[in-house]
């Protein structure tokens, strides 16, 4: 299975690289409403994935016959607060998490700083998580 994950990641990374989803200028153009490209990508991805999910969920089993297991996202105050913070970072770096890795692969030197920042940010969240649990109604660690 490891090979499958590497191959799927490679295809995903190639598409992000060549579509503009990992391109600083394309991200800014989306947020400046100067280009439809990224809205078109996300919209198409969501519509087609929703259609595919319907079919897979009706079947209820994976290709290998295992019962389908989809862990749902939890609703809490971190959705909005974290989403807002992430949006600031997405605009600044011109990359969301996947494209940080794609840009590193492309040879963009500054993307290494974005990755270092993202790891530091995740480490910080992990360190303060117990203190944020109550005010943000976050799920227990487990």
Query: Taking CB under 8 A as the rule, does residue 65 contact another protein?
Result: no
Window 10 to 49, contacts with another protein (CB under 8 A): 10-33, 35-49
CB within 8 Å of 70: residues ≥ 6 apart: 57
Binding another protein by CB under 8 A: which of 8, 58, 131, 135? 8
Q: b/e string for 127-140 if b means 16 or more Cβ within 10 A?
A: eeeeebeeeeebee
Binding another protein by CB under 8 A: which of 58, 60, 66, 134? 66
DSSP 33-78: T--SHHHHHHHHHHHHHHHHHHHHHHH-B-TTSPBP--PPPPPSTH
Kindly tell me which of 63 and 134 has the beta carbon lying closer to another protein: 63
CB 138 within 8 A of CB 129: yes
Window 83 to 142, contacts with another protein (CB under 8 A): 83-98, 100-111, 113-127, 129-130, 132, 136, 138, 141-142
Count, residues near another protein per rule CB under 8 A:
120
In angstroms, give the least distance from the CB of 134 to another protein. 14
* Element holding 28 (H helix, E strand): helix 24-31
Kindly tell me which of 50 and 134 has the beta carbon lying closer to another protein: 50
């Amino acid at each position: 299975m490891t090979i499958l994950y590497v191959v799927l990641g490679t295809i995903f990374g190639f598409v992000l690289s060549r579509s503009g989803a990992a391109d600083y200028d394309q991200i800014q153009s989306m947020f400046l409403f100067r280009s439809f490209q990224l809205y078109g990508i996300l919209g198409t991805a969501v519509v087609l994935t929703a259609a595919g999910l319907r079919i897979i969920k009706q079947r209820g089993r994976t290709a290998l016959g295992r019962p389908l297991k989809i862990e749902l996202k939890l609703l809490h105050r971190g959705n909005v607060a974290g989403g807002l913070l992430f949006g600031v970072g997405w605009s600044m770096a011109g990359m969301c998490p996947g494209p940080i890795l794609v840009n590193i692969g492309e040879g963009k030197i500054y993307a290494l700083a974005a990755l270092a920042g993202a790891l530091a940010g995740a480490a910080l969240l992990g360190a303060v998580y117990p203190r944020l649990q109550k005010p943000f109604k976050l799920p227990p660690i487990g």
